[in-house]
Amino acid sequence: MEVLTSEAVTSAKGYDPKRAAQIYDRMAARPSWNVIAPILRIFRWSASRLFPLGIRVNVKELEKAKATMAKHPGNLVLLPTHRSHIDYLTMHHICALYNLPTPCVVAGDNLNMAVIGPLLRRCGAVFIRRSFGGDHLYTAIFNEYLKGVLRSGGALECFIEGGRGRSGKLLPPKLGFMKCIVEAVEKGDVEDVWILPVSFGYDRLLETESYVEELQGTPKKAERLLSTVSYYWRTMRAALNHKISFGRVDVGIGEPISIQEHMRIHRTKSPSTLQWDFESNSLKSVPRTPEQQSQALHLALAYRSLDQCNQCSTILPAALVGTVMLLHRDRGLTKDTLIEKVGFWQREIKARGFKILEGNESLEHNIDVVVTRILTGEGRTNLMKRHKDLLITSAFTPDERLELSIYRNQIIHIFVLEAQVAVGIQSCLRKQSAQHPDVPQEDLLLPKKDIREECAFLSYLLKAEFVYEYTKLTEKSGGSLMAVNFEKGCDVFVKKGYLEPVDGEHFRRRWPAPIKQSTLGRFCDLLLPFVDSYFLVLLGAVRLLPDQVMEEKAFIAKIQSVGERLYFSGEMDHYEAVGKETLQQAVQRYYQIGVLLHTYPPEGRGKGHAVRLAERFRSEDAMHELIARVHAFRRTTDMSLDNVIEAVKNMP
């Protein structure tokens, strides 16, 4: 075993030959086609029942990717999105069907359970811990194992989001795997590596019920053999009896990325980054250290790969129907209205160069399939409630709103730039209206500088929440991708007739017809649930004043409790803002920008990570100022902000 005798492993801190062998045995894949072949046959039979509309692969994209990778040699690394546990087998099915090398798959050791674990290992699973926790020996063995696979000419597969996304959108990437394969190229272990981004899209996820429970704060249940087999059997029986349908699976293939080529591009990028300065209330350029510059290369490669996953994904009809049902503000809608609104989103998606499902079937037929077969079912699977000829949108339970938000989040990456500008415009408009109450809204001048500042703060706050389009910085942008994005967003609303440029420094809001007014509102509604989540974290942080320490899990649970109370009291419009995944991401972002500090609970008061306020925000004035800054983006409510904060303080 070359891995265990390599210098990197034997010189690792804490090296012990016996423990190293144990780690390797638990980690290493032992692929065998004698096991893979029958499992794929079972998978294809099962998939044809669970997904009666089929598994669709964009063959044209795949052939184009193969032609690109044939230009010069390099190992294949597959980077698929991670939506469901069946992603593993779906990828193997595609590799076998279209003559791609069968990869070794980096998988969480939670799947290394009795019976299933050994089978997955024989299918190529490389089992690793969720966190290496500073274990130098474990890290060295993992890195050397991956490099060994590449040196031997093998292929790898990794879900760089680190786990299955519960909210419907891509998660921020984990960089350990990316760092390893970049080092393999830099140090000459392999000539080059081709990264092939792959996107999985589902009309409906098998794990939706458990995802909704976890988003509400229920701890994730550990995988167990009996529970896994039992769930599979119940789901298959329901599918065979036509009580439930999961629709289709769509597989998109992105443009291959050469690591050698990416490193050449990255060397020309600016060795600085933007940070928000709370003193001047503006963005400032901060130089990177050499270590940060190296990390920036890995981060850029990871986000470039995830962007390609977004670019090659196909927006399925179920995502559009779910989005319309969630965003519709009236109590119900007719089938004709549903078709009209889905058509609106289809046109907007195609106008931005993204793909929708197109075929011989009409839009009306596709919507009928979604309404009658995919989003309709028994018990908790039924999202379509009817009254005569209306679909009811006012009676969604909290569980159902969370499930529908999974569909909305499948399209948000397409509109995130316009959504940020739309929210910035609305915030600026409210401020101008308050300053000039006697001026009709159609005559108000909105300073472009003010809108830009609003968008800059909002974009910085939500920077880690979305995967933005990978763009090479140009001279026109002055080195600022944020400036390019702002101009793109403004151009959309100018072309739609919502904004009228005035003297190059101001916009005038054209008095909109109802359809234009609702267009701006639709873009706002895509983003406002995330704004509410980040607002909730700050409200929860008020309870840390002046210098309290709280276990992070308890802190997030408290935030969810606060959010539920605000939602049911009418002070928050979006129940999905209490989703655990987004709140966790918001907490991480506040760590990054220096609002919260990562610490540990006092001795004897819990285990794991804890949270406290950064020194700058340990006064009520500083916290209230920041809360008001984020609150300005939200949809206004009857209760004043001071009363909301006071109510949160008094909650048990």
| Confidence grade of residue 233 (pLDDT, cut at 50, 70, 90) | confident
The pLDDT of residue 633 is above 50: yes
Euclidean distance between CA atoms 405 and 402, whole angstroms: 5
The pLDDT of residue 228 is above 90: no
Name which residue leads in pLDDT, 289 or 69. Answer: 69
b/e per residue, 245-275, with b = 16+ CB within 10 A? bbbbbbbbbbebbbbeebeeebeeeeeeebe
Residue 1 is predicted with a pLDDT of: 56
Task: Please report, as a single letter, which amino acid is at residue 352.
Answer: R
| Confidence grade of residue 638 (pLDDT, cut at 50, 70, 90) | low
Query: What does the pLDDT look like over 58-116, one tens digit per residue?
Result: 999 999 999 999 988 889 999 999 999 899 999 999 999 999 999 999 998 888 888 88
What are the distances in angstroms from CA 108 to CA 70, 302, 337, 571, 587?
32, 19, 44, 40, 24
**What is the β-pairing status of strands 506-509 and 499-502?**
antiparallel
Query: What does the pLDDT look like over 411-458, one tens digit per residue?
Result: 999 999 899 999 999 899 888 888 888 888 778 889 999 999 999 999
Euclidean distance between CA atoms 144 and 241, whole angstroms: 49
**Residue 507 forms beta bridges with which residues?**
446, 501
Residue 570 is predicted with a pLDDT of: 87
| Confidence grade of residue 241 (pLDDT, cut at 50, 70, 90) | confident
Euclidean distance between CA atoms 228 and 226, whole angstroms: 5
**Residue 501 forms beta bridges with which residues?**
507
DSSP state of 393: -
The pLDDT of residue 295 is above 90: no
Residue 80 is predicted with a pLDDT of: 96
Euclidean distance between CA atoms 212 and 167, whole angstroms: 9
| Confidence grade of residue 229 (pLDDT, cut at 50, 70, 90) | confident
Cα 501–chain centre separation: 34
Containing 106, the helix (H) or strand (E) segment is strand 104-108
The token pair at 338 is 């549903």
For the CA atoms of 497, 498, 502, 508, the dihedral, rounded to the nearest 10 degrees, stands at 140
Residue 472 is predicted with a pLDDT of: 43
Residue 274 is predicted with a pLDDT of: 74
The token pair at 166 is 């519960």
Positive or negative: CA dihedral 214, 219, 222, 226: negative
Containing 276, the helix (H) or strand (E) segment is strand 272-277
Give burial (CB, 10 Å; 0-12/13-18/19+) of 116.
middle
Name which residue leads in pLDDT, 294 or 121. Answer: 121
Residue 474 is predicted with a pLDDT of: 34
CB 320 within 8 A of CB 346: yes
The torsion angles phi and psi of 252, rounded to 5 degrees, stand at -105, 145
DSSP 81-101: ---STTHHHHHHHHHHHTTPP
Which strands sit side by side in the sheet containing 445-447, from one edge to the other? 445-447, 506-509, 499-502
**Listed residue (379, 372, 383, 390) closest to 406, CA to CA:** 383
The pLDDT of residue 477 is above 50: no
Q: What percent of the chain has pLDDT over 70?
A: 94
Between 212-216, 271-275, 645-649, the lowest mean confidence (pLDDT) is in 271-275
- Residue 104 half-sphere exposure, CB side, CA atoms within 13 Å? 21
**Listed residue (544, 556, 566, 553) closest to 622, CA to CA:** 544
The pLDDT of residue 484 is above 80: no
What are the distances in angstroms from CA 130 to CA 174, 337, 506?
11, 46, 50
The token pair at 601 is 């609970």
Query: What does the pLDDT look like over 250-287, one tens digit per residue?
Result: 999 999 999 999 998 877 666 777 777 777 777 777 87
The pLDDT of residue 517 is above 70: no
All residues at 6 or more sequence positions from 417 whose CB lies less than 8 Å from its CB, including other chains: 468, 485, 488, 489, 492
Mean pLDDT throughout 500-515? 74
The three-class DSSP label of residue 57 is strand
The pLDDT of residue 628 is above 60: yes
The pLDDT of residue 614 is above 50: yes
CB 16 within 8 A of CB 138: no
pTM, 2 dp = 0.92
